[in-house]
Every structure is written in structure tokens, then in C-alpha cells.
Amino acid sequence: MKRVVFNQKGGVGKSTIACNLAAVAAARGKRTLVVDLDPQANSTRYLLGTAADGIENTATGFFDQVLNFKLRPKPTEDFIAATPFANLFVLPADAALEELQAKLESRYKIYKLREALDSLAGFDEIWIDTPPALHFYTRSALIAADACLIPFDCDDFARRALYTLIDNVAEIRADHNEALVVEGIVVNQFQPRANLPQQIVAELRAEGLPVLRTMLSASVKIKESHQQAKPMVHLDRGHKVAQEFAALYDELEAAARAAAKKRA
């Protein structure tokens, strides 16, 4: 299963959600890869900590050889790094990705990531973290993925942007990847005692949007998790937010099994 975590709005928790769900999968014995396509490299630093500074083979190198055709390119595996956590790997990003974006867009290389990920052997799950923009890297991710998760914070600006985002995903599906599904909207930084978040979530569900049952609470523990470069399942497995990530993963897996059974 290849999942992309995508929202054109920044600061909604894409990297946090991608890394923590991947870490849950890996902790349960699934060989798991996080693909970081954001030049900010938040997922890379979250999973590698200070070791991220010494990484030589990154997504920039992968896309550079895509751009500059080579008869014998490095295999995709050469750009993948092991993390300190069992079964969890990352294809790291760095700031230089930004410089390649316009060139890759103009050369129409948007299927190369899908080809590369499809050729990988030995991974049970792949999670793709994306920049907060709809451009080459996010389109490539949506074309490569089986499913899309949309992080959502409960305010009116985010709600207005949500409809456009869903339309954009539908367009990618129609033009490039007919198998792509919006697996769900992940409500992040949820404050259950505040009226507005509850109202917005209820209205989105009433509109028939696929808001997932499990919501992620606001917690300073997440910031500690970032600082220590340890996903919640490794930092504090018993913490409320760690349990929410586990429950969210279970919800996604149950829905995926039900969908597969229905297709069969």
C-alpha cells in the first residue's frame, strides 16, 4: 500500500502524521518506507535526527538522475536510508529539491516516482510526505499513490481550502491515476471542548466528506517528539496521542481490508 499525505495548506501536520503512522506500521513488523518530497525535510529530520545532516544520497539525487538521463542510473534502493527504528526506512529530502522542481515540471517527469516505487521490492507500506503546494512533487506523489490522506485543522480557512483540494485530487485521479482514492480526512490538533471544531467536523460529515472517526489531539508531547526525533510510538507508547495514532492506523487498515474484500 502506498499512501500520500497531502494538503496545500502548510502547518497542518503532514510530516507528523506520515511519520507517526509509518512508525506504527513498522513497530508492528511491517517493513515501511517514508518518502520525503518536501524541501523543508521535516520527515527526514524527524526520523533521522542530527544524522540527516550527513546524508549524501537524497531525493535530490534521485530526481537529478531522472532529469539528466543516464544509461545506468543508481537504483532507487541506493537513495534509501535506515532509521534508528526497526523496519522503518526513509528516502530523505534536502533543500536542494526546490531547485529542481521547475526543471522537472517542464520536462514532464511526473510518472518517474511511480515507476521507481513500483520497482521497489520488500516494502509492505510506503508513506509519502509532500510539500504544501500543488506542483511537480505533489502531483508525482498523487500519481504514485494508492490512497490519499488529507490532514485538516479545524478553522474556516482550512475548510474553504478543503473543497479545492478534493477537486484537485479528483482531477489527478481522472487524468493520471484512476485507482487513487481519498482514504480520509484526518482531523489534527482537535480540541474537543471547543465548540467550533466540533461544529466544523459535524458539518463536514453531514456533507458526506470522508472525515475519519479517529481524531488527533493537540499536545505539547508532539513537539517533544519532534525535538527528540522519536515518533510517538517510540517516545511514549502509552501517551494519549500515541494511542490515537495507533487507533488511526487501525481504522485505515480496517477500511482497506473492507475495500479489498468488496473488490474481490
Total residue length of the chain: 264
> What are the residues whose beta carbons fall under 8 Å from the beta carbon of 39, sequence distance 6 or more?
93, 94, 95, 96, 97, 98, 131
What pLDDT sits at residue 131?
A: 94
Q: What is the pLDDT of residues 143-157, one digit of tens each?
A: 999 999 999 988 878
Q: Which CATH number fits domain 2-263: 3.40.50.300, 3.10.580.10, 2.60.40.1180, 2.40.50.140?
A: 3.40.50.300
What pLDDT sits at residue 170?
A: 95
What pLDDT sits at residue 260?
A: 81
Average pLDDT, the chain: 93
Q: CA 233 to CA 239: how far, in whole Å?
A: 9
CB 10 within 8 A of CB 75: no
What pLDDT sits at residue 88?
A: 98
CB 8 within 8 A of CB 184: no
Write the DSSP symbol of residue 71.
S
pTM for this model (two decimals): 0.95
Determine the Cα angle at 227 with ends 226 and 229, to 5°.
60
Structural domain boundaries of the chain? 2-263
What pLDDT sits at residue 231?
A: 98
Q: CA 21 to CA 241: how far, in whole Å?
A: 12
pLDDT > 90: what percent of the chain?
A: 79
> What are the residues whose beta carbons fall under 8 Å from the beta carbon of 244, sequence distance 6 or more?
214, 215, 216, 217
What pLDDT sits at residue 181?
A: 94
What pLDDT sits at residue 99?
A: 93
What pLDDT sits at residue 29?
A: 97
Q: What is the pLDDT of residues 109-134, one digit of tens each?
A: 999 999 999 999 899 999 999 999 99
Average pLDDT of the segment spanning 200-208: 92
* pLDDT over threshold 90, residue 95: yes
Q: CA 118 to CA 218: how far, in whole Å?
A: 36
Closest-CA residue to 158 (of 4, 18, 8, 14): 8
Q: What is the pLDDT of residues 21-72, one digit of tens each?
A: 999 999 999 999 999 999 999 999 999 999 999 899 999 999 999 888 776 7
Q: What is the pLDDT of residues 159-170, one digit of tens each?
A: 888 999 999 999
Q: CA 153 to CA 51: how far, in whole Å?
A: 31
Alpha carbon of 211 to those of 26, 203, 206, 230: distances in Å?
A: 25, 10, 10, 27
Q: CA 123 to CA 18: how far, in whole Å?
A: 16
* pLDDT over threshold 90, residue 194: no
CB 158 within 8 A of CB 9: yes
| DSSP H or E stretch at residue 183 | strand 181-188
What pLDDT sits at residue 71?
A: 64
Rg from Cα positions in the chain: 18
